[in-house]
Chain A
Amino acid sequence: MSSKSVRPSALPALARRALLVAALGVLAIPFVVPTVWMVSASVKPLPEIFKSPPSLWTDEPTLAAYTEVFTFQPFAQQYLNSVYIALLVTLITLLVSSLAGYAFARIRFPGVNALFVVVLIGLLVPSEVTIVPLFQMFKGAGMINTHWPLILVTALAAPCVLATFIMRQFFIALPAELEEAGRVEGLGRPGIWWRICLPLAKPALSAVAILTFLSSWNLYLEPTVYLTSPELFTLPQALTRFTDAYGGEMWNTQLAAATMTVLPVLIVFLIAQRQFVEGLAHSGLK
Chain B
Amino acid sequence: MNTARKLFGAVALTTALALTSACGASSTGTEANATGVQLRMTVWTSNEDQLKLFDTIAAAYRAQHPEVSSITFESLPFADYNTTLTTQIAGGNAPDLAWMGDLSRDLIASDALVGLTDKLKATDGWNYDDLLDSATKEFSRDDTLYAYPFSNSPFALYVNTDLLAAAGQKIDPETLTWDQVAAAGAAVHAKTGKAGFVIRDFDYKSWNTLATVWTGFGAAAWSPDGKTCTFAGPEMQQAFTFLHNAAFKTQAMPGPGTKADFFAGDAAFTVAQVSRASLLDGKFTFALHPLPAGPIGRYAVLGQAGVGVLAAGKHKEQAADFLAYLTNPVNAEKLAQFFPPPRKSLLTGAKLAANNEVLSAAQLQEVVVDQLPKAVTLPNHTSPAEIAQKATTALDAMWKADADIPAVLNSVCAAIDPILTK
Chain A residues with CB under 8 Å of chain B are: 46-47, 50, 71-73, 80-81, 84-85, 88, 91-92, 95, 135, 139, 142, 144-148, 151, 188-191, 194, 224-225, 228-232, 240-241, 243-249, 251
B43 vs chain A, min Cβ distance (A): 10
CA of A285 to CA of B174, assembled, Å: 73
Is the pair A248, B261 in contact by a Cβ cutoff of 8 Å? yes
B78 an interface residue at 8 Å Cβ cutoff? yes
Is the pair A228, B18 in contact by a Cβ cutoff of 8 Å? no
Chain A residues near B27 (CB-CB < 8 A): 146
Cross-chain contact of A188 among B3, B18, B26 (Cβ < 8 A): B3
B74 an interface residue at 8 Å Cβ cutoff? yes
B166 an interface residue at 8 Å Cβ cutoff? no
Is the pair B45, A245 in contact by a Cβ cutoff of 8 Å? yes
A183 vs chain B, min Cβ distance (A): 13
CA of A229 to CA of B87, assembled, Å: 12
Chain B residues near A80 (CB-CB < 8 A): 25
B363 vs chain A, min Cβ distance (A): 18
Is the pair A92, B22 in contact by a Cβ cutoff of 8 Å? no
**What are 19 of the A-B contact pairs (CB < 8 Å)?**
A46-B264, A47-B266, A50-B260, A50-B266, A72-B46, A81-B25, A84-B21, A85-B22, A144-B87, A145-B88, A146-B27, A147-B25, A188-B4, A225-B87, A230-B76, A230-B77, A244-B78, A248-B264, A249-B264
Is the pair B46, A244 in contact by a Cβ cutoff of 8 Å? yes
B265 an interface residue at 8 Å Cβ cutoff? yes
Chain B residues near A232 (CB-CB < 8 A): 26, 28
* List of 6 A-B pairs having minimum Cβ-Cβ separation, nearest first: A144-B91, A245-B78, A241-B77, A147-B26, A146-B26, A190-B4
Is the pair A146, B23 in contact by a Cβ cutoff of 8 Å? yes
B213-221, B226-234, B274-282: which lies at the A interface?
A: B274-282
Name A191's closest neighbour in chain B (CB-CB). B3
CA of A225 to CA of B87, assembled, Å: 7
Query: A228-B76, A241-B77 are known contacts. Are A88 and B18 too (CB-CB below 8 A)?
Result: yes
CA of A178 to CA of B26, assembled, Å: 44
Chain A residues near B401 (CB-CB < 8 A): none
CA of A241 to CA of B84, assembled, Å: 12
Chain B residues near A229 (CB-CB < 8 A): 28, 74
Query: A144-B91, A147-B25 are known contacts. Are A190 and B18 too (CB-CB below 8 A)?
Result: no
Chain B residues near A145 (CB-CB < 8 A): 88, 91, 93
CA of A145 to CA of B93, assembled, Å: 9
CA of A245 to CA of B351, assembled, Å: 24
